[in-house]
Structure 1
Amino acid sequence: MDYEKITATLRALALEAGAEIMTVYEGPDFEVKSKSDSSPVTEADERADALIAAGLAAAFPEIPVVTEEQSESHAIAADVFFLVDPLDGTKEFIQRRGDFTVNIALIEKGVPTRGVVYAPAKGRLFYTDAKGRSVEEAGPHRVDTTGETSALKVSVPDPDGLVVVASKSHRDQATDDYIARYPVSDFRSAGSSLKFCLVAAGEADLYPRLGRTMEWDTAAGQAVLLGAGGKVVRFDDLKPLGYGKGGFENPFFIAYVPGVKLAEAS
């Protein structure tokens, strides 16, 4: 596997897709349509998806691509594949709140080994390098020039006061009840896969998700967190959250840093 090429390609495609998204975001009002599952989709989702899918197919014709916006790709079953959410956080995008991301991941035997998360409205770019180590690249971001990067490393948590991050758009009572089992010193709210990246960057210790997600929502963020020394486990049995499941739907999960003693599921 040519990880140098994979890293460069995923980074470039995320930046190019982010530029397409921002063209729509900063333009006049855009149409919001509903997909078959009633979730929203915009021109930005579709433009970013077409760009990423075509770019991956051209660079790696031997590796299948599963993407949220192409339902026919959801029938793919492979040990190695790319997993794409071209615009994660569409609700944040529609409300022009900025917490949306481009997510592209490489899955190998159920594990997201490489990934990029780009938040174009916030100017934050996270990805795994060729060796699987996670970095954040300082802006301004250019496709043809790599900026200064800093290694990401998870925090050493204070057991008496954890920093918890949770969703802006998908908070519920079950999540709040679970968080209440921990000693929390600070709470941060973020949208899309940025929550994984905040944990990877040492800006939070714990991210529980007791709600529905799909694999394309989480794969790139999980790759970034794993590359920074973090962990992501299923809520029910604390086994690693894996990929390539039938239907691509995730169980509830917990993303956290080593040193956090997980509360028991109930």
Structure 2
Amino acid sequence: MSERMDSATEAFVTHRNLLFTVAYEMLGSAADAEDVLQETWMKWADVDLDAVREQRAYLVRIATRQALSRLRTLGRRKESYVGPWLPEPLLTAPDVAEDVELADSVSMAMLLVLETLAPTERAVFVLREVFDLEYDEIAEAVDKTPAAVRQIAHRARAHVAARRPRGVVSAAETRDALEAFRRAIETGDLQSLLDLLAPDVVLLGDGGGVVQAALSPVVGAGSVAAVLGRIAAAASLQPAQVNGNPALILRLNGEIDTVVAVRIDEGLITGLYAVRNPAKLSRVEQETAVSR
């Protein structure tokens, strides 16, 4: 019995970071992803390992099913959320940025695009496009036929392509834009700030009804610059690697107050995502491992 449990534990630990990443990309919440891992482990511990051909695929299937169930519950919770809902930011290791596809898939901008997919579409897209699972493996995970999964994948791919950032932006470009952004805010140089913002830039602030944040999107360079000027007056801004991409952590009196991620299109900042809800800031105190 103990030998079987040792084998089950070893397999689970080997794939833990992958399973967390699958669940996080489906849910946008590290806390919920951790709950999915707990549920996955409990189910995995009861599995007859001798009957499992491919442990990684089997574990991904369990985690996907648990995440899908939780995603439907989360959807109801988000309907009553106060103000814009943003994904829970993760402080990630520098090497995540080296895997461009992984970094793109966990970025704030992409997670918000994934929010616009139906639950099954989101699961299929993540498993196929990010983790490169075969259609028959995905079919078992989402209880569909492989033919149906192909159709869902095609539809989800087109949906995401129409909404994702228009061009590939290197980490260096994003870092440079954020550094210029930080300098403009800290020096109060409004014109430099406006020069970085797209005319139709959108700022989303997530306070969760717990701390102050705009209850609706702030749209337009002038309006966004005015809000940023007020926010940063008493704060220090530090560069960080968040969700595989350069971001800024805003501290007040040494405490983390806000995590700011950006979306850049054609050299200008088109989206600003400011997470202020204290319940979502615990994962920027220390690195979280994500992997494919």
Higher gyration radius (CA): 2
Structure 1 length as normaliser, TM-score? 0.29
Higher strand content, 1 or 2: 1
Using CA pairs under 8 Å that are at least 6 residues apart, name the structure with larger relative contact order, 1 or 2. Answer: 2
